[in-house]
């Protein structure tokens, strides 16, 4: 119980720090918007229809924004030596992981919450119940890769070339959720019944369960001082 409370306290601290400046959030959202714009022009409009490309663009943009967002999750702690204070606090490593994970997840979900409406506007997606499912899929995918990214960020922040190391390591882990997400989104936007994506949702849930568990098990190994 105390792990959960301590974790929530750490997450709340991160969220407050984020809301105080909002710079990182605004930058990550701008980044996502720019990727959408670039993708729109990275095609021959006469040859490739926007609708064909739309699912891939949404997921690649979401993945890239996730990498950018996660990259900064431990820099703040590192820069001001705050991590020492956090490690000295009478809370378990699991609580620190939980807090960091929740804060990162909140950050990524907010970015995605802005990305989805932008995507709908830029790619002329007809409003339908499918969008609710797509939002759920984006959230499910984030729940998994944020768990991995939180562990990776805790390590890469302490290495040389941290900004480069993070994407190189994390992108491999994004292949399953992006691939599954694109398949499901293509079917949803094509008006297929929900039953056709049930199996894909199951894979995402399994991915979440496995990597969140693994995150809790492995994170302490990144924090031994």
Partner 1 sequence: MTDSHDSDRLIRVGKWLTGIGLVAMAGLYYLALVVTPAERWQGEAQKILYIHAPAALTALAAFGIVGIVSLGYLFLKDPRLDAFAEASAEVGLAFGAVMLTTGPMWGRPVWGSWWQWEPRLTLTLLLVLLFIGYRALRTAIDDPEERARYSAVIGIMALVLVPFVHLSVYLFRTIHPQPVILKPSRPTLPWEMLRTFLFAMAVFAIQYAGFVALRYGIGRRRAEAS
Q: Of the listed pieces 55-63, 96-104, 110-118, 155-163, which binds partner 1 according to CB under 8 A?
A: 155-163
- φ/ψ of 40, rounded to 5, equals -60, -35
Q: How far is the CB of 51 from partner 1 (least distance, A)?
A: 17
Question: Nearest approach, Cβ of 57 to partner 1 (angstroms)?
Answer: 17
Shortest reach from residue 186's CB to partner 1, in Å: 9
Q: Which region, judged by CB under 8 A, interacts with partner 1, from 37-45, 61-69, 133-141, 210-218?
A: 210-218
- 5 sits near partner 1 (criterion: CB under 8 A): no
Nearer to partner 1, 38 or 206 (CB): 206
In whole angstroms, the minimum distance from the beta carbon of 203 to partner 1 comes to 7
For residue 64, state whether it binds partner 1 (rule: CB under 8 A): no
Rounded Cα–Cα distance for residues 64 and 135 (Å): 17
The least CB distance from residue 110 to partner 1, in Å, is: 26
Interface residue with partner 1 among 87, 106, 109, 183 (CB under 8 A) is: 183
200, two tokens: 């894909």
222 forms part of the interface with partner 1 (CB under 8 A): yes
User: Is residue 190 exposed (0-12), middle (13-18) or buried (19+ Cβ within 10 Å)?
Assistant: exposed
Do 188 and 58 form a contact (C-beta atoms < 8 A)? no
> How far apart, in whole angstroms, are the C-alpha atoms of residue 29 and residue 41?
19
Residues between 44 and 63 with contacts to partner 1, criterion CB under 8 A: none
* 66-125 binders of partner 1 (CB under 8 A): none
Contact positions vs partner 1 (CB under 8 A)? 148, 151-152, 155-156, 158-161, 165, 168-169, 172-173, 175-176, 179-180, 183, 200, 203, 207, 210-211, 214, 218, 221-222, 224
């Amino acid at each position: 119980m105390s792990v959960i409370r301590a974790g929530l306290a750490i997450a709340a601290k991160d969220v407050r720090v984020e809301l105080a400046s909002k710079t990182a959030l605004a930058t990550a959202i701008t980044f996502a918007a720019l990727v959408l714009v670039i993708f729109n022009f990275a095609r021959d409009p006469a040859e490739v229809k926007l609708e064909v490309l739309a699912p891939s663009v949404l997921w690649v943009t979401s993945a890239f924004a996730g990498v950018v967002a996660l990259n900064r999750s431990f820099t703040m702690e590192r820069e001001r030596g705050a991590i020492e204070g956090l490690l000295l606090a009478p809370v378990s490593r699991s609580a620190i992981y939980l807090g960091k994970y929740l804060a990162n997840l909140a950050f990524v979900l907010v970015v995605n919450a802005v990305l989805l409406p932008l995507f709908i506007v830029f790619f002329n997606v007809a409003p339908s119940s499918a969008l609710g499912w797509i939002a759920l899929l984006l959230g499910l995918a984030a729940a998994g890769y944020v768990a991995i990214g939180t562990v990776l960020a805790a390590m890469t922040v302490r290495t040389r070339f941290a900004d480069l190391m993070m994407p190189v390591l994390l992108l491999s882990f994004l292949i399953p959720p992006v691939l599954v997400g694109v398949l499901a989104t293509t079917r949803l936007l094509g008006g297929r019944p929900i039953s056709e994506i049930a199996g894909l949702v199951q894979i995402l849930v399994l991915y979440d369960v496995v990597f969140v568990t693994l995150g809790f098990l492995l994170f302490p190994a990144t924090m031994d001082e």
